[in-house]
Amino acid sequence: MPLFESRAGSFIILNTATTSNVLKAHDTLADALTIVVYGPAAINNLSALTFEVTNDPDAAAPVFLTLKDAGGTNVAVPLAAEARVYQFQLGGNMGVRIKSGTAANADTTFLVSKQVWGS
């Protein structure tokens, strides 16, 4: 079977915000073998970027945790003009977002695609 890449949404941190919207596994990411995140052309004052995950993205006030690798290091978010491939898979009712240590000074979009097996 060939491997296909398709759009899976975007993380958008709005002007003056520190967190992006949430991409939900059950909506777009559950079938992904890998996830590719494309950094924006400009980072727009963002710093200390991390991925955060929740096991209940539809809750009124979901609890988010910093996503870390097996060694306990924060999983890196791509910087400006950079793309990163991630092997982590999100299943079930998980959601993921990007968090910044500083507020954006302009809307900032990180495009997301996924790689899936096709027939």
Alpha-carbon distance of 114 to 90, in angstroms, equals: 11
- pLDDT string in tens for the chain (119-residue length): 677 888 899 999 999 999 999 999 888 888 888 899 999 999 999 999 999 999 999 999 999 999 998 899 999 999 999 999 998 777 778 999 999 999 999 999 999 999 888 76
- Each domain of the chain, given as residue ranges in start order, spans 3-117
CATH of 3-117, one of 2.60.120, 3.30.60, 2.30.33, 3.40.50: 2.60.120
- Number of Cα atoms under 13 Å in the Cβ half of residue 25: 19
Residue 90 has a pLDDT of 73
pLDDT for 117: 80
d(CA 107, CA 55): 26
d(CA 114, CA 4): 8
